[in-house]
Structure 1
Amino acid sequence: MGACAAVVTVGAHAAAGGVIPLGGRLVASMLVCAIVGALLSAVPLEGRRGRILGVVGALTVAQSLGHLTLMASAPHHHGDTLGVTPMMAAAHLAAAVVLGVAITTVEYLYVVCESVLCWLRLFAMRALRPAARMLALTTNVVVAQSVPRCSGLGMRAPPRRAALAS
């Protein structure tokens, strides 16, 4: 918003008969607009109407401060006290409204596209999943067997000598 406000400030200023700033005046105007844009990003704006009014208001403030910065660095004479003719005020206000509506519309469309892409990702990820492979597992079956039937697998007694010696 700050960069757009700086561009529109200079454009509306030049379109209404003002001088196109160069060098330090341009940088100062851009910094003022960037600061207003940074302050706007900290304000929570709820609802579509609130966002539009907040962005248009911030753009109006940014352009006003940008215009004052341009006047302070190199004053120009338009016949009014603040150097603002009705034509320049109308150009700045129209630029703020058009740009504010464009910014909020793009933000809204971004949210819509993000939502659609999230839903599409759910279906696309399901189709891309590879088929599960069945692994052949070998297991050793351990079963208790009867001692009389399998003489070698039963419990082992102590040797005879050890049993007799005791």
Structure 2
Amino acid sequence: MKLASDSFRNRSAIPAPHAHGDGGNLHPQLRWSEVPAGVSSLALLCMDADAPANGADVLHWAVVDIPPGLHALAAGALPCAAQATLHGVPLRQGRNDYGGYGYHGPLPPPNNKHHYIFRLYALDVPRLALPADFTCADVLDAMYGHIVDEAQLIGTYQRN
């Protein structure tokens, strides 16, 4: 499976419109390909690998119930809400580690470059068993044993 973006290249800077404090806090455009046959759904997470909280990555975004036939998210297509609809398809977004629903863009301390990992998971279940008010960490737990494949895209962000 492959994950890419028209908003930024792998291991390059994420533009300010996709940052929290410096821009519009719009999630970047993402597209994926080569999803394995037989996959029932996809899940997308974004985490800051350079800001460990209690020994774990800081989670910025979780989207679940993505149908395998969907191959992209336009930049800013999903609102910061628990429920979202894209092309008539209902999707669920979890609480990020900042307490809000949906995408929370990069916001590292000034003069510190952080790496943001966007990871797409191909799952063998059509819907993850999650509580109504789930967190990104809940998604990680619910996916255990259901991951068929995964792909990642890394972007960096630094505030001056």
**TM over 0.5, shorter chain:** no
TM category, shorter:
under 0.3
Superposition TM-score, scaled by structure 2 size: 0.27
Structure with a larger share of its residues in helix: 1
Which structure: larger Rg? 1
Structure with a larger share of its residues in strand: 2
Superposition TM-score, scaled by structure 1 size: 0.26
